[in-house]
Chains A and B, each alone.
Chain A
Amino acid sequence: MLIKKPHAWQMAENEVTSEAHYKNRRQFLRAMGIAATGSVAVTGFPGMALGLTAKAKAVRDLDYKTTEYDPGEDQTSFQAVTSYNNFYEFGTAKSDPADYAHEMTTDPWSITVEGHCGNGGQFALEDVIDFSSLEERIYRHRCVEAWSMVIPWLGVPLASVLQKFGPTAEAKYVQFETYANRDEMWGLSRPVLNWPYVEGLRMDEAMHPLAFMSVGLYGKELLNQNGAPLRLVVPWKYGFKGIKSIIAIRFVSDMPRTSWNESNAREYGFYSNVNPSVQHPRWSQSTERRIGEFFRRDTLMFNGYEEEVASLYRGMDLSRYF
Chain B
Amino acid sequence: MAMRKKWHRFIGAWTSAGIFRDLGLAMSLSPRVVRKIIKPTVFILMLLPLAWVFYGWWLYIMGDLSLVTANPIEYTNRHLGDWAMRFLLVTLAVRPLSRIKSLVWLMQLRRMVGLFCFFYAFLHVSSYVVLDQFFDWPEILDDILKRQFITVGMITLTLLTPLAMTSTKAMIKRLGSLRWQKLHSLIYLASVLVIFHYWMMVKGNQLEPKIYAFIVAALLLSRLPQRVKKRSKLAQEKAGLQ
Contacts and interface: CB of A to CB of B under 8 A. Distances in A.
Contacts of B17: none
A52 B200 CA distance: 31
Categorize the interface residue count of chain A.
Answer: 35 or more
B205 A79 contact: no
B1 interface: no
Interface in A236-269: 263
B206 A190 contact: yes
B131 interface: yes
B166 to A, nearest CB: 30
Contact of A83 (B66, B132, B136, B142): B66
B147 A287 contact: no
Given A92-B204, A190-B206, A282-B147, A292 B139 contact: no
B130 interface: yes
Interface string A77-92: 1011001100010001
A92 B203 CA distance: 9
Interface string A273-293: 000000101111011010110
Interface in B4-47: none
Interface in B125-173: 130-134, 136, 139, 142-143, 146-149
A84 B204 contact: no
A321 interface: no
Given A94-B71, A147-B71, A283 B147 contact: yes
B61 A5 contact: yes
Contacts of A92: 203-204, 206
B126 to A, nearest CB: 10
Contacts of B148: 281
A39 B62 contact: yes
B206 A192 contact: yes
B206 A281 contact: no
Given A16-B63, A80-B70, A289-B73, A284 B143 contact: yes
Interface in A1-19: 2, 5, 8-9, 12, 15-16
B207 to A, nearest CB: 6
Given A296-B133, A296-B134, A35 B66 contact: no
Interface residues of B, number: 36
A292 B63 CA distance: 11
B112 interface: no
B70 A84 contact: yes
A77 B75 CA distance: 18
Given A83-B70, A292-B70, A284 B139 contact: yes
Contacts of B206: 92, 190, 192
A263 B66 contact: no
A16 B134 CA distance: 26
Given A49-B64, A80-B70, A289-B71, A88 B59 contact: no
A48 interface: yes
Given A84-B70, A291-B70, 11 more contacts: A9-B61, A49-B64, A49-B66, A88-B204, A94-B71, A279-B146, A281-B148, A282-B200, A284-B139, A284-B143, A296-B132
29 contacts: A35-B64, A39-B62, A42-B62, A43-B64, A48-B66, A49-B64, A49-B66, A52-B66, A80-B65, A83-B65, A83-B66, A84-B70, A84-B71, A94-B70, A94-B71, A95-B69, A147-B71, A282-B200, A284-B142, A284-B143, A286-B139, A289-B73, A291-B70, A291-B71, A294-B73, A294-B134, A296-B132, A296-B134, A296-B136
Closest 10 CB pairs of A and B: A80-B70, A84-B70, A192-B204, A39-B64, A48-B66, A8-B61, A291-B70, A12-B63, A94-B69, A35-B63
